[in-house]
């Protein structure tokens, strides 16, 4: 943000997301925006932190203390806070009334759906032992909303298990990443339903055509993946379906569990990975 010398003006709103509220580079970006007269909003987990004090207004995500270095529950709470922030901004838009209702209704079911996803833990543990054990690298494919989930999942796996992992935009496979794909490279792909679903299916077919054996995070009782599993080499992890912009809340949990079991299987301290600190207070 600062490296690009982003133009910021008095009528801009700048949002700063930080679990600790003390992140050094975020604080510097905040100072930059304040100097230019922008309205600043903080989304933090720590009451009384530097960012919460310096911003004009904000949201305390109320996730509670997070002991582990890798952020999990704070990520989920920040995600929900940003969705609710967007909902409040659209409050006076008549064209968005039905979309708002859909999202608000979806949020009500998220806690129960997360409990359902946690039931996958035993299956994920087995996949980590049988499919991912001993691997050196992992690709995560996502598109649209799920590209963010791929990036976050890759970060968790790097942080906790020390396995090289990379979140890749599924639509860009043919721009270079496809050269890496063979029968030996583990791949996790998001195949949950949204407006981009047909394109995601096409990307995953490109992977399987090159002998890749992806693990697909898909919606429960999805006939498309059930039929493909009979003819091509893939594994599915089924999660409940929700509104497209909320699906990432459910999709990220299998990856958090994957990072956990990869680390445990290798005797790695899950809460305190090497070389990392909970709060990054220097650039």
81 and 187 in a common domain = no
159 and 54 in a common domain = no
Last residue of a domain, one of 51, 73, 89: 89
Q: Which residue has the higher pLDDT, 140 or 91?
A: 140
187 and 123 in a common domain = yes
Backbone angles phi, psi at 232, to 5 degrees: -125, 165
**Which DSSP letter does residue 195 get?**
T
Q: What confidence tens digit (pLDDT) does each residue in 206-232 have?
A: 999 999 999 999 999 999 999 988 888
Could you give the percent of the chain with pLDDT greater than 70?
Answer: 100
220 and 122 in a common domain = yes
- On the question of pLDDT at 282 being above 80, the answer is no
154 and 25 in a common domain = no
171 and 68 in a common domain = no
204 and 85 in a common domain = no
22 and 122 in a common domain = no
Q: What is the pLDDT of residue 104?
A: 96
pLDDT-based confidence at 79, cuts 50/70/90? very high
127 and 84 in a common domain = no
Q: How many CB atoms lie within 10 A of CB 121?
A: 14
Domain that holds residue 54: 2-89
Last residue of a domain, one of 53, 72, 89: 89
**Would residue 276 count as lying in a domain?**
no
Q: What is the pLDDT of residue 39?
A: 97
Among residues 60, 80, 184, 190, which one has the least CA distance to residue 134?
A: 184
**Would residue 216 count as lying in a domain?**
yes
130 and 65 in a common domain = no
262 and 155 in a common domain = yes
Taking a C-beta distance cutoff of 8 angstroms, is the pair 52, 27 a contact?
A: no
For the chain, the domain total comes to: 2
- On the question of pLDDT at 165 being above 90, the answer is yes
Token representation of residue 114: 């997360």
**Would residue 101 count as lying in a domain?**
no
| Average pLDDT of the residues in 36-51 | 95
Among residues 27, 55, 44, which one has the least CA distance to residue 81?
A: 44
The CATH code of the domain that includes 129 is 3.40.50.10490
Taking a C-beta distance cutoff of 8 angstroms, is the pair 252, 140 a contact?
A: no
Q: What is the pLDDT of residue 283?
A: 73
256 and 121 in a common domain = yes
**Would residue 17 count as lying in a domain?**
yes
Average pLDDT of the chain to the nearest whole number = 94
Q: What is the pTM of this model?
A: 0.93
Q: What confidence tens digit (pLDDT) does each residue in 171-200 have?
A: 999 999 999 999 999 999 999 999 999 999
H or E stretch including 277? none
């Amino acid at each position: 943000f600062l490296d690009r010398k982003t133009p910021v003006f008095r009528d801009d709103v700048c949002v700063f997301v930080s679990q600790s509220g003390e992140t050094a580079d975020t604080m510097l970006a905040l100072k930059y925006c304040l100097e230019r007269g922008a309205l600043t909003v903080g989304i933090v987990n720590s009451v009384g932190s530097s960012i919460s004090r310096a911003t004009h207004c904000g949201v305390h995500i109320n996730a509670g203390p997070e002991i582990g270095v890798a952020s999990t529950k704070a990520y989920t709470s920040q995600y929900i806070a940003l969705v609710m922030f967007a909902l409040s901004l659209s409050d006076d838009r008549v064209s968005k009334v039905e979309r708002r209702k859909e999202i608000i209704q979806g949020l009500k079911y998220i806690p129960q759906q997360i409990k359902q996803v946690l039931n996958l833990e035993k299956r994920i543990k087995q996949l980590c032992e049988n499919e991912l054990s001993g691997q050196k690298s992992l690709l995560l494919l996502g598109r649209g909303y799920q590209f963010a989930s791929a990036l976050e999942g890759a970060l968790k796996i790097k942080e906790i298990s020390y396995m090289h992992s990379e979140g890749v935009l599924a639509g860009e496979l043919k721009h270079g990443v496809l050269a890496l794909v063979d029968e030996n490279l583990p791949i996790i792909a998001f195949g949950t339903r949204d407006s981009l679903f047909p394109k995601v299916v096409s990307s995953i077919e490109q992977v399987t055509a090159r002998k890749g054996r992806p693990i697909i995070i898909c919606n429960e009782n999805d006939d498309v993946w059930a039929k493909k599993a009979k003819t091509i080499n893939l594994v599915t992890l089924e999660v409940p379906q929700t509104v497209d912009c909320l699906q990432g809340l459910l999709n990220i949990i299998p990856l958090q569990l994957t990072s956990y079991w990869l680390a445990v299987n290798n005797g790695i301290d899950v809460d305190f990975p090497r070389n990392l600190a909970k709060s990054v207070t220097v650039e």
